[in-house]
Amino acid sequence: MRLLARREQSAGELLRKLVERGYPEDIARQVVTTLQDGGWQNDARYAEQLTRTRLRKGYGPLYIQHRLRQEGVEAPVGEILQEEGQDWDSLIAGVYRKKYGATAPGDANERAKRARFLQGRGFTVEQIRRFLDNLKQREQAD
């Protein structure tokens, strides 16, 4: 219960932590099932909380999906992200501006470097390409 009192945890994460603390796996599974039946643990609620947190920190959809899979949560991430009404263009722009300012990359090497950074934040190649192309067009228009 103390583990769940701090923050939401996925069933897989909870199971792993109980086993690491020395509980037999079958007992740990029973405990997790009891917690789920009682409404104390819910993977959908965990997925929503993780999604909101990572969005606030500037992470993209691929990163969020990867994190959920790591924790053993097979949540419908697309539905969660639609419910959040996420505007990916503004999120990627904010992440980019925080790191690089409002300037477009000067050459192909710099563009690749900046694209890798955005990929590491979990944005799709299409989102990155569209953003960098728009940034370059705006800079050329000025």
Q: Supply the CATH number for residue 35's domain.
A: 1.10.10.10
- Regarding whether 133 and 93 lie in a shared domain, the answer is yes
Instruction: Look over the chain and give the mean of its residue pLDDT values, rounded to a whole number.
Output: 87
Separation between Cα atoms, residue 7 and residue 63, nearest integer Å: 20
121 and 100, same structural domain? yes
User: Looking at residue 85, what is its pLDDT?
Assistant: 60
pLDDT value at position 65? 87
pLDDT of residue 106: 87
- Domain extent for 77: 42-85
- pTM, whole model, 2 decimals? 0.78
Say if residue 131 is in the same domain as residue 101. yes
Say whether both 1 and 20 belong to one domain: yes
> What integer pLDDT is reported at residue 8 of this predicted model?
86
CA dist 132 → 51, 54, 93, 136 (Å)? 25, 22, 9, 6
Cβ contacts of 134 within 8 Å, gap of 6 or more: none
Model pLDDT for residues 45-82, shown as the tens digit of each residue: 888 888 889 989 999 988 988 988 888 887 666 666 66
Structural domain total, the chain: 3
Low-confidence ranges of the chain (pLDDT < 70): 1-3, 75-85, 142
> What pLDDT score does 79 carry?
65
19 and 34 within one domain: yes
Q: What is the CATH number of the domain that holds 108?
A: 1.10.10
pLDDT score, position 138: 82
